[in-house]
């Protein structure tokens, strides 16, 4: 049984990914920071369905706290599957954007990627097998007014993943990025009306978290061992 960590596992997409990885037979650490009760509920739901999971709580922007939490997980051995899903929105058009809005969004998505990924690499390398999947966004590819900070943070993951894939290619470790479009969730439902989705998405619907989870699960599988350094969009033909 391989061990997987899903950051932001308490959200709609993160929870779906955690469930799917658990269904594939992995032990899943469901990470949260602001919503620990939700992470506990997701882990309990997985266990009730016959899977193996447990919640883990830390702030990905706090490098020392993150390293300490990961060291506790590494006591049981390497984590061979990592899904960097943690991210936040703090939207504003750039002329009115506060520095704190810029810094917070960059901090969670991009610095959080480093804080979580870097401590796990050497243990993963020693096993000669690993899967790292980063969650980006269509906003990083097409842009989105009011999300300069978010688009910059998620676009940064593309370059980081591509470079890390080259570093790890000979070690049996793949690194890929998944860029969802409009995915049904409480957050998206409050922003995108049905008419807006039909106008923006050629498939005329929002994606489902489970569809993203299926893609991530494939990239984390043995079958995807020759796929690395790639950016894969899942957006209903938006771009």
- Of 29, 102, 113, 150, which residue is the catalytic one? 150
Say how far apart CA 220 and CA 228 lie, in whole Å.
11
In the beta sheet, which residues pair with residue 83? 6, 133
Burial status of residue 67 (CB atoms within 10 A of its CB: 0-12, 13-18, 19 or more):
middle
For the question of residue 150 being annotated catalytic, the response is: yes
Say how far apart CA 188 and CA 180 lie, in whole Å.
12
Say how far apart CA 161 and CA 181 lie, in whole Å.
19
Q: CB of 87 within 8 A of CB of 109?
A: yes
Q: CB of 87 within 8 A of CB of 108?
A: yes
Q: What secondary structure does DSSP assign to 139-189, as a single string?
A: HHHH--TT-HHHHHHHHHHHHHHHHHHHHHGGGTEEEEEEEE-SB-SHHHH
Say how far apart CA 219 and CA 227 lie, in whole Å.
8
Who contacts 88 (Cβ-Cβ below 8 Å, separation ≥6)?
104, 105, 108, 109
Burial status of residue 199 (CB atoms within 10 A of its CB: 0-12, 13-18, 19 or more):
exposed
Give the active site residues: 150
């Amino acid at each position: 049984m391989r061990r997987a960590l899903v950051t932001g596992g308490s959200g709609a997409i993160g929870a779906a990914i955690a469930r799917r990885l658990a269904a594939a037979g992995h032990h899943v650490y469901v990470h949260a920071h602001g919503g620990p009760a939700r992470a506990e509920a997701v882990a309990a739901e997985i266990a009730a369905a016959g899977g193996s999971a447990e919640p883990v709580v830390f702030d990905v922007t706090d490098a020392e706290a993150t390293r300490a939490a990961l060291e506790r997980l590494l006591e049981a051995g390497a984590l061979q599957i990592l899904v960097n899903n943690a991210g936040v929105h703090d939207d504003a058009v750039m002329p009115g954007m506060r520095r704190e809005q810029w810094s917070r969004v960059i901090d969670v998505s991009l610095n959080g990627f480093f804080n979580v990924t870097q401590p796990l690499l050497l243990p993963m390398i020693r096993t000669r097998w690993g899967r790292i999947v980063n969650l980006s966004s269509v906003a990083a590819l097409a842009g989105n007014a009011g999300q300069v900070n978010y688009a910059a943070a998620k676009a940064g993951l593309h370059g980081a993943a591509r470079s890390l894939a080259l570093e790890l290619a000979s070690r049996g470790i793949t690194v890929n990025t998944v860029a969802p479009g409009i995915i049904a969730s409480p957050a998206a439902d409050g922003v995108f009306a049905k008419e807006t989705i039909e106008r923006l998405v050629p498939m005329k619907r929002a994606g489902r978290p489970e569809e993203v989870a299926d893609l991530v699960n494939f990239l984390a599988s043995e079958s995807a061992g020759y796929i690395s350094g790639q950016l894969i969009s899942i957006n209903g033909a938006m771009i």
